[in-house]
Structure 1
Amino acid sequence: MSEIQINTTQNVNIKFTQAAIGERVVAHIVDWIIKLAFIIPMLLFLDSLFQDSVWFYTLDGWSRIAIYIIAVFPAIIYTLVLESLWEGQTLGKKVMKIKVVKIDGYQASFVDYLIRWFFRIVDLNMLSGFVALISIIMSDKGQRLGDMTAGTAVISQKNKVRISHTIMEDIGEDYKPKFPSVIKLSDNDMRIVKETFVIAKKGKDFDTLNKLRTKIEAVMETKSEEATIPFIDLVIKDYNFYTQNM
């Protein structure tokens, strides 16, 4: 599998393993099996419910279609809801250990997932997914049209080393975290924080350190009186603490 090079806003290059087409196809099939397990019983139930209903057959065709669409609506928004709640994963993606990420290294937002979901009409529903397949093959980051528009990519998490395992901070058993809101940061965020912090601190690049601090505070929705370097160091240690104790 090829790698995806992501250049963050702090000019730090991060490598992710691109999810293979086969992994994405299997994840898609798993998700469809789950959706069909809901859709088929629901449609059979509606058919039996309206079989002898005079009221139902007095409705025009569009109204009847609308009733069926409303009934299966959970399946329609299945992908959008789960990717939003599970940070880029559906049940199928969890099974295949792949997920959606922003190509700038940060966690995708609801709007990004909404764009990907909307473009499924073109990518996956037209020509039986042929458009998505060609887009993924032609893109150097394995992106379908929805990914290109949303600025996302699908990566593999297999053999993934958690960020908490790579920080290796000696925080001690009696360590008391100072910033509980650090859990608002994702693994991708922490990967960027750590690499940027190490590089900028070593090069005494205080401008980058201050920008990194501003971004961290924005995501964590907090302000600190700590100096920039001690603050970022505390954030890394706190994240390590909470990850170890999850």
Structure 2
Amino acid sequence: MPSGPEVLQAIDWRQPWLAGWREWGEPVAQAVADGLPLHEALNHRSAAPVRFVPQAALPPGEAYERYIFNSGLCPTREGLHDFFNGLCWMRFPRIKTRLNQLQAAEIAAAGVAPLRGPVRDALTVFDENAAFLLAPPPLWEALMGKDWQALFVALRPLWPQARLVLFGHALLEKLVYPRKPITAHVYLAPPAIDTIANLDAWLAADLGADKLAGKPFVPLPVLGVPGWWPENENFSFYDDSLVFRPRR
């Protein structure tokens, strides 16, 4: 995948999965295009609970998550990955703070080991690839059962009542160059939540080490969401068993 500050210009902010990110991301991308380093562009626009610094600020041998927890500084590289990570800190400050607290607690308890363990693995999956589904129960039940025909065809009329909110910064990065197999790890959220701020607060309170260790995620190929990708208007789109895999 291309890297460097110039790749921010490849982002198509008209895509439906970026609708909620445009107000945060477009000004930062423009500031980078105008010559600011990414960390400065993020700080200029940010009300995040961290300050963004160059990647070189991370001391050699220091764990990234522990450094953020102890210093309040977030090392940032140029490019799409850390661009979207910065936007996540801006849009979901409570969730990002909670994830960092849980990572720091795991490091304090077990140190930095080659194998992260189930909690740190789940935290990484959440941070990198999570999305939140706020939907009527029949949609969630079909997703849990990997009943793709029910989820996307029979229950298609219910999707206007649902929202899929993307969170993971690696997920957002991949969707700059959309491909059918791109899959999110979906976390159920109450459909009555009406604002991003309330979603941020609810999820930050809901996240805990024990719950995450149970891997409370369900895979969802995001371009299957009705209205997100023109090709899924033809229902044969969902017949691809390499993407829409049946339940074991």
TM range (shorter): under 0.3
Structure showing the higher helix proportion among its residues: 1
TM-score by length of 1: 0.23
TM-score by length of 2: 0.23
